[in-house]
Amino acid sequence: MKNSRRLLFRILTVLVLLVIAAAMYVIGRGHTLYFDNTSMDYNGQTVEAPYRIDVYVDGERVAKLKEDERGTCTNIGQKFSMDLEITKEKDDEPVTEHISLKLPFNVDNIVVNLPALLQGLDEDAYYSVFVPLVQEPADEEPQVDEFGIEINADENTAG
Amino acid sequence: MTLGAMAGEIGLIFVSDWQIWGIPGMILAMIISIPISVALGVLCGKILNQAKGREMVTSYIMSYFINGIYQLVVLYLMGSVIPIIHSSIKLPRGYGIRNTVSLLQMRQKLDELLAVNVKGVRIPVATLIVIALMCLLIVWFRRTKLGQDMRAVGQDMQVAEDAGINVERTRIISIVISTVLAGFGMIIYLQNMGNLSTYSSHSQIGMFCIAALLVGGASVDHASIGNVFLGVILFHTMFIVAPKAGAVITGDSMIGEYFRVFVSYAVITIALVMYETKKRKKKSQAAEQLQADQQAAGADGKGA
């Protein structure tokens, strides 16, 4: 009786830990978002980029984008909301819009074209996956100290 | 300690690769570290049970042995057998983990949680709550049956065995608990640092912990919560003061840093020498007492 109770308790503990781990896996999934303020053509329709877009996340400005500029921010979880302060022309009064997005779980780096998003176009118009083009050279790993700081970094930069 | 730290690091490597950030990442890393810590703790406990009386040197060599296995896993199996997706943590050759893994998205997340600013000084309330909870857990645990058993085994294994305590099982459980907690501690420490030195963090943390404990007044066979707090404060003070003192006295802060390392190792050495001296003194006193008792008994026998 005592042994079966102990076994049951152990199984329950493992299950609880697995449930918490699964929850953390979903809740804590991080994404890097890149915001583009660029004009684009989609299905023959031209979307013009406004003069300036300020991106606010949780009340903090994370990007200030003029035409053809790119900004970035990070987000934990699949729900993302931001406030966009849009200035259409140079001396116009900015207009604020609240946008919420659902981010795909499996994608790390997401590019969002803000003009297309604001225009209300389809997801494939404003959403794309960021793929780094530059390949890293296979060079030697830098020597680091106990805090992970590169040894002789000052000498290297000074030289 | 080192084994638990390795388990914590493996948890953090996986979490970094899966891009689980912030507090959820920390919790997930802790959960991943648990089975690894338990397995290593059981292995360590079983080996130490075979080497009673020689625990110190056995555990020292064991940490090297497990470090070898850790390096095999992290340097060769991760990326080739164990899937690692992101090139940011993989070596350029395609398998193995880099010297440094960035924990930037986890950096000081626990310290920032519920943080309070007092006159420009940030008080990491959540971290302090975690520390307080761990202290309470230890105080409570010492009063449980298992806690009492552990104390009895620590004081005298033979007496504990005679009292009906399963000494070997108790020793394994205590090692498993300390390994799991070491893994958690390592994750909390590394989230504060914001990066992970894959191949050296675990060995350094062991040295730091032992030195801090001993500086705080603990001995080889006895340590209290008070020793921990005093040791951490003194050890951190040394980190701040030593380079500055070196710069002021000799004009080179590295001299102060060498002095700090020298003091850290010296404290461990002195503590070990004192422990050994005390043990031998106790042994010789017991032998003298036995000799005196035998002589007294002999004299009584002759007198009778």
| Cβ within 8 Å of residue B135, ≥6 positions away | B225
> Considering only residues 46 to 105 of chain A, which have any Cβ-Cβ distance to chain B shorter than 8 Å?
74, 76
Distance CA A53, CA A47 (A): 15
Establish if A145 belongs to a structural domain: no
CB pairs under 8 A between A and B: 75
Domain extent for A83: 31-129
Establish if B98 belongs to a structural domain: yes
Task: Among B198, B215, B242, give the residue marking a domain's end.
Answer: B198
Per-residue pLDDT band at A142 (split at 50, 70, 90): low
Per-residue pLDDT band at A159 (split at 50, 70, 90): very low
Per-residue pLDDT band at B188 (split at 50, 70, 90): very high
Is A24 an 8 Å CB contact of chain B? yes
Is A30 an 8 Å CB contact of chain B? yes
Is A140 an 8 Å CB contact of chain B? no
Cβ distance of B92 and A144 shorter than 8 Å: no
The reply to whether B190 and B228 lie within a common domain is: no
Establish if A134 belongs to a structural domain: no
Phi-psi region of B111 (alpha: psi -120 to 50; beta: other; left: phi over 0): alpha
Q: Is the pLDDT of residue B132 over 90?
A: yes
- Quote the number of domains for chain B: 2
Q: Are strands A30-37 and A109-113 parallel, antiparallel or unpaired?
A: parallel
Cβ distance of A20 and B21 shorter than 8 Å: no
Q: Are strands A79-87 and A52-57 parallel, antiparallel or unpaired?
A: antiparallel
Per-residue pLDDT band at A135 (split at 50, 70, 90): low
Distance CA A136, CA B124 (A): 38
Establish if B243 belongs to a structural domain: yes
The reply to whether B192 and B230 lie within a common domain is: no
The reply to whether B227 and B79 lie within a common domain is: no
Establish if B301 belongs to a structural domain: no
* pLDDT reported for residue A145: 64
Instruction: State the amino acid at position B160 in one-letter form.
Output: A
Smallest Cβ–Cβ distance between B34 and the set A17, A27, A136 belongs to: A17
Q: What are phi and psi of A54, to 5 degrees?
A: -105, 130
| Cβ within 8 Å of residue B252, ≥6 positions away | B246
Cβ distance of A20 and B34 shorter than 8 Å: no
**Which CATH number do you get for residue A115?**
2.60.40
- Under 8 Å between Cβ of B126 and B192: no
The reply to whether B60 and B135 lie within a common domain is: yes
**Using a CB-CB distance cutoff of 8 angstroms, which residues of chain A are in contact with residue B86?**
108
The reply to whether B205 and B71 lie within a common domain is: no
Q: Which two tokens stand for residue B254?
A: 């590295």
Q: Is the pLDDT of residue A138 over 60?
A: no
Distance CA A136, CA B90 (A): 12
Smallest Cβ–Cβ distance between A25 and the set B28, B193, B204 belongs to: B28
Establish if B295 belongs to a structural domain: no
Burial of B234 (0-12, 13-18, 19+ CB in 10 A): middle
Establish if A151 belongs to a structural domain: no
The reply to whether B89 and B22 lie within a common domain is: yes
For A69, the 3-state DSSP assignment is: strand
Distance CA A66, CA A63 (A): 10
Q: Interhelix angle for B225-249 vs B253-303, to 10°?
A: 140
Establish if A148 belongs to a structural domain: no
Distance CA A21, CA A13 (A): 12
For an interface test with A, give the residue of B9, B13, B15, B21 to mutate (most A CBs within 10 A).
B21
Instruction: State the amino acid at position A81 in one-letter form.
Output: S
- Under 8 Å between Cβ of A139 and B94: no
Cβ distance of B100 and A143 shorter than 8 Å: no
Distance CA A113, CA B112 (A): 32
The pTM for the full model equals 0.83
* pLDDT reported for residue A158: 42
Is B24 an 8 Å CB contact of chain A? yes
Establish if B300 belongs to a structural domain: no
The reply to whether B127 and B142 lie within a common domain is: yes
Domain extent for B42: 1-198
Cβ distance of B197 and A24 shorter than 8 Å: no
- Beta bridge pairs of residue B119: none
> Which range in A89-93, B86-90, B177-181 is most confidently predicted, on average pLDDT?
B177-181
The reply to whether B25 and B158 lie within a common domain is: yes
Is A29 an 8 Å CB contact of chain B? yes
Closest chain B residue to A17, measured at CA: B31
* pLDDT reported for residue A156: 47
∠ CA B132-B134-B140, nearest 5°, is 105
Residue found by looking up tokens 């590394």 in the block? B190
Distance CA A100, CA A119 (A): 14
- For chain B, the average pLDDT equals 88
* pLDDT reported for residue B36: 95
Cα torsion through A64, A69, A70, A71, rounded to 10: -10
| Cβ within 8 Å of residue A84, ≥6 positions away | A53, A54, A55, A56, A96, A97, A98, A99, A114, A118
**Using a CB-CB distance cutoff of 8 angstroms, which residues of chain A are in contact with residue B18?**
25, 29
Task: Among B198, B227, B247, give the residue marking a domain's end.
Answer: B198
The reply to whether B188 and B212 lie within a common domain is: no
* pLDDT reported for residue B88: 85
Establish if A4 belongs to a structural domain: no
Q: Which of A16-20, B149-153, B233-237 is predicted least confidently?
A: B233-237
CB atoms within 10 A of CB B104: 11
> Considering only residues 61 to 120 of chain B, which have any Cβ-Cβ distance to chain A shorter than 8 Å?
86-87, 91-93, 98-100, 105
Smallest Cβ–Cβ distance between B87 and the set A23, A30, A136 belongs to: A136
Closest chain B residue to A25, measured at CA: B20
Which ipTM was obtained for this model? Answer: 0.81
Is B34 an 8 Å CB contact of chain A? yes
Q: Is the pLDDT of residue A148 over 70?
A: no
Per-residue pLDDT band at A157 (split at 50, 70, 90): very low
The whole-angstrom distance between B15's CA and the closest CA on chain A is: 9
The DSSP call for residue B43 is H
The reply to whether B163 and B209 lie within a common domain is: no
The DSSP call for residue A93 is P
- Quote the number of domains for chain A: 1
